[in-house]
Structure 1
Amino acid sequence: MKLRSTTHGIAREEGTPSSDAFGVRTWGETVMAVLADGAGMGEPAREAAQRAVRSLLENYEARPRTWSPQRALTEFTQLLNRTLYQESLARFDRPEMVSTLAATVIEGDRLYGVNIGDSRVCLARNGTLEVLSEDHVEADRTHVLTRALGMAPDVEPHVFERTLQNGDITLLCSDGVSNHLSTDELAGELAASGTARGIVKAAHKCASEETMDDMSAIVLDVAQTGRLRAMSERDLSIPASLRKGEVIDGYELVRSFQDSDRVWLAEKNGQRVVLKFAPLEAADSEAHLNAFVRETWNATRLDSENIISAHEPAGQTARYYVMEFVDAPSLSKVLQDRRLSVDSAIGLGRFLGEAGSTLLRRDLVHGDIKPENILCVGDYAKLSFKLLDLGSAAEVFSVTSRAGTASYLAPERFHGAPISERTEIFAMGVTLYQSLTQAFPFGRIERFQTPAFHAAKRPTKLNPNIPPWLEAVILRAVARNPQRRYQHYSEFIYDLAHPEKVEPFFEDDAPLLERNPLGFYKAGFYILLLLTLWLLMQLLTRP
């Protein structure tokens, strides 16, 4: 199955806990998503929502094999309802642990679901959104639930089932989202961004102070039904060694790349391509195999002129994927001979920001932005660029290790901070600095080193051709304090496109002479003036 899941939630008020809860779990051939909205802002409602998500995920995974998905969803929902109702009576003498519930299970090409209350489940197909769930609310007072978990000793959940097609998108959301976005607007947001974060942010923008509510969403984007598991379980060989002239599935191996025998230039029917083979460890390690399957999935589902295109050929017998071949040197090779011109560097920065934005729309970050992973297309007068190697690509905020190349890692990454837009922008800034100066802003950092980051040398000291505004952009991108760095790719791209609006940037500990030369000299002038006057007074008052 080729499926991407994203989740996102925000509380009604910043700094307060949300009454929404949600979770996604994958095991075997099953993907399950559960979302619950506690009825009220109190702790019992919040606990009920959290219990509902945790209980349904755990119970369904261990369900009896003889139960159908519909029966399992119904049985476990009714069991959960009785538990919450009885516990509420015992603890509060009335139903307080009350929550809505929306849950879906994907097995193969079938979608099974259940809901109670007004949390919705929708299915997007070919730009049209179908609401699969029922809203259990009063006709005239839609904020009043007529059915919910824990509200009564017995409950009858709404159960539904659909056949999935490639490209279908399933959305689960709380009423905080569905009350602010119509069905057509939800369909439009799914088509535009395709992520839970995009849906929730759009709903949040539409909310007023009076209608603000907890908001949460889960998006399950089914690129291909059943394919991801099939990719890992296909009987594909992993060649122990590869040799020049060897033919695999009609591809003749021409030469290896990157000092590795796992990436090869190959030729088939007169067309040159690049083949990337699974690492040898994948033959015996499920973790390495899954990592390569994930890399293949990420590489083949991205469609952007900024990123090398990739696909899996039909009928392949070995575990590899095919990438387009671009006959161009890497930026690293170019920098061995010369620095980039200012115009080319500006183009490089905008390219990196746009490529990062493309990945983020899939909730991904590259994870290893550096000159070795950037191709330079064209001549010195007019360069364009291509990003390659998605081997380190990961979901944003999902990695807290030092994965990547040490010299391009943001300072916080050395102390367990997750990978994010800000850490990617740091790597982009280091790449720009290196492209214009052939040096690193903080020196070359070894893989297992935990460096102490001192103020970066201003790039104009190494290359006086750099305009002050571009220096400010680069220094802000590599700021040691992540709060002072660009927070989003869009800010980075905007400044590169509007030099007249770029403000000077200085680190917090920069000396006054560097931060404000005019102020420094003014202060010096007044100090000297006062000293002169004092000396004059001393001279005049001497006997």
Structure 2
Amino acid sequence: MGARQIELRVGWCSETGRRPRNEDYVGVCLGTATQRARQGAVAAIADGVSGAPGGRVAAELAVRGFIDFYLGERQTLGIRRAAAHAAEAINRWIHAQGRTDPERTGMATTLTAVILRDRRAHILHVGDTRLYRLRDGRLTQLTEDHVHSGPDQRHILRRAIGLEDALRADYTAEPLREGDRLVLLTDGVHGVLSSRDLTRLTSSEPTPEAASQEMVAAALSAGSHDNATALIIDVVALPPADQGELADLTAELPILPVPKPGDVVDGYRVGRQLSDGRYSALFLTEPAGKEAPLVLKFPKPTVAEDAVYRLAFVREGWVAARVRSPWLGEVVEVPPGRQTRLYTVMPYYPGQTLAQRLAAPPRVGVAEGVPLAVRLAKAVAALHRAGIIHRDLKPDNVIIDGAGGLRLIDLGVVRLPGMEDFPAEQIPGTPSYMAPELLAGAPGDERTDLYALGVTVYHLFTGAYPYGEVEPFQRPRFGALVPLQQRRPDLPTWLDLSVMKAVAAHPADRHGDVLEFALELEAGAAHPAPRPTRRRSFYDRDPVRFWKLTALVLLVLLILSLVRAG
């Protein structure tokens, strides 16, 4: 398992223009993947106050100092406090220099800094440099200019680094989306270009380098008398959304009636129906051109409580984004702003469910069944390594492609570490595959998944259940189970023993984990010689005949006792 890290592309351009020297400064620190995960990538732009000595020095010190101080702060402070501490330290130093050094009297600078970590942009800003965000073709200004409001005073700063001994900086945090373009500009660019021009120039070039050069060139051509600097950051990839973010994203999505083939939902054309379950319906999309078909999973609004569906939606998206395995189903992220109702988009895996395979001849043999069982165990193990319990393992939730491929699907009912669980009366599971402790009210753990896996493998070879089929609301008794070989005498003893251990009624009698079960199956398939085992009792070998003989003996004893009494 490995979550993706934030991935960025950066480009900038800075020109002196008609000024005698360039007093703008830009700095970016992307860091390593580990640093980006812990502290984020940092970018900043500054415009030194040109009317006072030391403007260039102030701009460079502000950018370089902010980045260095922020990265040197304790992570336990949090981004907002660490950024504030860094900016305050730089402000104190520049303000002190402006008061004590005659060559730098009144030195000051603007500063706009952005810290990009996880899926958020943390912005610290003071002055009239600006930060914009281009999203879906729309350019939005994310900072406010700290200048006087008079028509002839808009170039005079009310706030700046070094202007006062106490810093008054703005802090905001904005959610990020893949495809966002962040644009940091000095007033030598945004002061001479209209909003329409800025939007056009920001959107026109595919790379940050080309776009920044185009914007600076346009500002100078438009008559800018100041230095012109542009810093552009493209958000290429983001780590998966966390549980809270996923819950927020789905909170406003309505649960609507299930669509029909031919309907169009958010640009997806609904095709043939793949399944119609109690809680949800699955449809194949009809893609345009050479696009790959997808699967749309719609919740049914009349079966369960609204909160339960939303909880399942959050779980499925959270797990699919974080747990990577060739044996697990995936979820396709819907482009931001596109989704108008609650549903899940998944890749289409050609093939059939394991349940469909079991309903068709021929019967599953060792050569086919053991590799399927091992791959399914590895899918479950991938979840368990992440602390996730599936809780609904069964043949209906396994897709096979006939060429050895397998996908465990339906991750909406999993139990997650630290996430709110389903209401007690709606804890998921299929009774025939639920371990005794799960039916008794336990929330589920690795051993209950192992039990369900064992029942699935038992059903794979026999079409039956080790303790008999369990109906909903039935209180099953987990007495003597029916051995695998009693239903399939052609199966090897090692397979019988391994499956019987996995489905033991008591958790302590099962394997240590699903990987131990998988390794046992692999070892048995590689060395199929029978394992030495204790002699099975007459009852284990043929319980029906045992009880018939017992009844006959009791009848004979009863007759003898009656004869003696007479």
State the TM-score, normalized to the length of structure 2: 0.49
AA in 1 matched with 2:351? A
2:78 is paired with a residue whose SS is strand
Report 1:491-530 matches (<5 A).
Answer: 491-499=516-524, 500=527, 511=537
CA distance in 2, matches of 1:332, 1:230: 36
Distance 1:242 1:350, change over 3 A: same
Q: Percent identity?
A: 31
1:227 maps to amino acid: E
1:231–1:126: structure 2 CA closer, same or farther, 3 Å change rule? same
Q: Cα offset for 1:363?
A: 1.2
1:373-426 Cα offsets, whole Å, 9 max, x none, are 111212xxx533211111221126968875200000111212223311111111
Q: Which residue of 1 aligns with 2:248?
A: 230
Alignment-derived partner of residue 346 in structure 2? 323
**Alpha-carbon distance in structure 1 between the residues aligned to 2:532 and 2:271:** 50
| 1:243 aligned to which of 260, 265, 288 | 260
1:389 to 391, 401, 410: 410
In 1, Cα distance between equivalents of 2:116 and 2:36: 14
Matched, 1:370 2:370: no
- Of 291-300 and 408-417, deviating more is 291-300
For residue 332 of structure 1, report the CA deviation from its aligned partner.
0.8
What's the counterpart of residue 264 of structure 1? 283
Report if the CA contact (8 A) 1:125-1:167 is conserved: no
Task: Determine the C-alpha separation between the residues in 2 that align with 1:463 and 1:321.
Answer: 40
For residue 307 of structure 1, give the secondary structure of its aligned residue in structure 2: coil
> What code does the residue aligned with 1:356 have?
V
Task: Provide the rounded CA distance (Å) in 2 between the counterparts of 1:488 and 1:481.
Answer: 14
> Offset of 1:131 from its aligned partner?
8.9
Asked if 1:160 corresponds to 2:77, the answer is yes
CA distance in 1, matches of 2:417, 2:375: 19
Q: 1:435 aligns with which of 450, 456, 460?
A: 460
The answer to whether the aligner puts 1:288 opposite 2:325 as a matched pair is: no
Letter in 1 for 2:512: Q
Q: How does 1:46-125 map to 2 (within 5 A)?
A: none
CA distance in 1: counterparts of 2:303 and 2:474, whole angstroms? 28
Question: What is the CA–CA distance in structure 2 between the aligned matches of 1:366 and 1:159, rounded to whole Å?
Answer: 34
CA contact (8 A) 2:246 2:317 kept: no
Q: Could you tell me which of 372, 378, 382 is aligned with 1:354?
A: 378
Amino acid at match of 1:361: R
Write the letter of the residue equivalent to 1:485: R
Change (3 A) 1:407 1:282: closer
Displacement after TM superposition at 1:324 (Å): 0.9
Distance (whole Å) between structure 1 residues aligned to residue 316 and residue 37 of structure 2? 32
- Write the distance in 1 (CA, Å) between the matches of 2:445 and 2:357: 28
Cα distance in 2 for residues equivalent to 1:505 and 1:349: 23
Q: Measure the CA separation in 2 of the matches of 1:469 and 1:256.
A: 41
Q: 1:394 is paired with a residue of what secondary structure?
A: coil
For residue 472 of structure 2, what is the aligned residue in structure 1?
A: 447
Query: Is 1:434–1:440's contact at 8 Å kept on the other side of the alignment?
Result: yes
CA–CA distance in 2 between the matches of 1:258 and 1:280? 16
Alpha-carbon distance between aligned partners in 1 of 2:476 and 2:261, rounded to the nearest angstrom:
42
Deviations, residues 492-526 of structure 1 (Å, cap 9, x unaligned):
1221121259966789xx748869xxxxxxxxxxx
Q: Separation in 2 of the partners of 1:247 and 1:130?
A: 39
Distance 1:502 1:481 in 2: 26
Match of 2:489 among 447, 455, 464: 464
Distance in 2, Cα, partners of 1:469 & 1:283: 43
**Structure 2 CA distance for aligned equivalents of residues 468 and 329 of structure 1:** 29
Q: Is the 8 A contact 2:413 2:428 kept in 1?
A: yes
User: Match of 2:33?
Assistant: 126
Call closer, same or farther: CA 1:367–1:284 in 2, change over 3 Å. Answer: closer
User: What is the CA–CA distance in structure 1 between the aligned matches of 2:405 and 2:356, rounded to whole Å?
Assistant: 15
Contact 2:299 2:342 in 1 (8 A): yes
- Matched residue of 2:346: which SS? strand
Contact kept in structure 1, 2:315 and 2:411, CA below 8 Å: no
Q: Tell me the amino acid that sits aligned with residue 325 of structure 1.
A: Y
Q: Aligned-pair distance for 1:230?
A: 3.4
Matched position secondary structure for 1:457: coil
SS of the equivalent of 2:293 reads: strand
SS at match of 2:444: coil
* 1:269-324 residue CA offsets vs partner (Å, 9 max, x unmatched): 24211011244269983443233233333234332210122122202223222111
Given residue 412 of structure 2, which amino acid in structure 1 is its aligned partner? G
Structure of higher CA gyration radius: 2
Q: Secondary structure at the match of 1:337?
A: coil
Q: Is the 8 A contact 1:312 1:320 kept in 2?
A: no
**CA distance in 1: counterparts of 2:432 and 2:306, whole angstroms:** 29
Q: Whole-Å Cα distance in 1 between the matches of residues 501 and 533 of structure 2?
A: 6
Supply the distance in 2 between the matched residues of 1:254 and 1:470 (Cα, whole angstroms). 42
2:266 partner amino acid: D
With normalisation by structure 1, the TM-score equals 0.51
CA contact (8 A) 1:470 1:496 kept: yes
Alpha-carbon displacement from aligned partner over 1:106-149 (angstroms, at most 9, x marks no partner): xxxxxxxxxxxxxxxxxx972359999xxxxxxxxxxxxxxxxx
What 5-or-longer segments of structure 2 have no aligned partner?
4-30, 40-73, 80-114, 121-237, 542-566
Q: Helix, strand or coil: the match of 1:444?
A: coil
Given the alignment, which residue of 417, 422, 426 partners 2:447? 422
Report the CA distance shift for 1:446/1:237 in structure 2 as closer, same or farther (over 3 A): same
Contact residue 353 and residue 490 of structure 1 kept, 8 A: yes
Would the aligned equivalents of 2:316 and 2:412 in 1 still touch at CA under 8 Å?
Answer: yes
Provide the C-alpha distance between the structure 2 equivalents of 1:299 and 1:279, rounded to a whole number of angstroms.
22
Structure 1 window deviating more from structure 2 (390-399 vs 305-314): it is 390-399
2:358 matches 1:335: yes
Which secondary structure does the structure 2 equivalent of 1:232 belong to? Answer: helix
Aligned to 2:499: 474
RMSD: 3.6
CA drift at 1:158 = 10
Residue 167 and residue 425 in structure 1: after superposition, are their counterparts in 2 closer, same or farther (change >3 A)? farther
Separation in 2, partners of 1:468, 1:512: 16
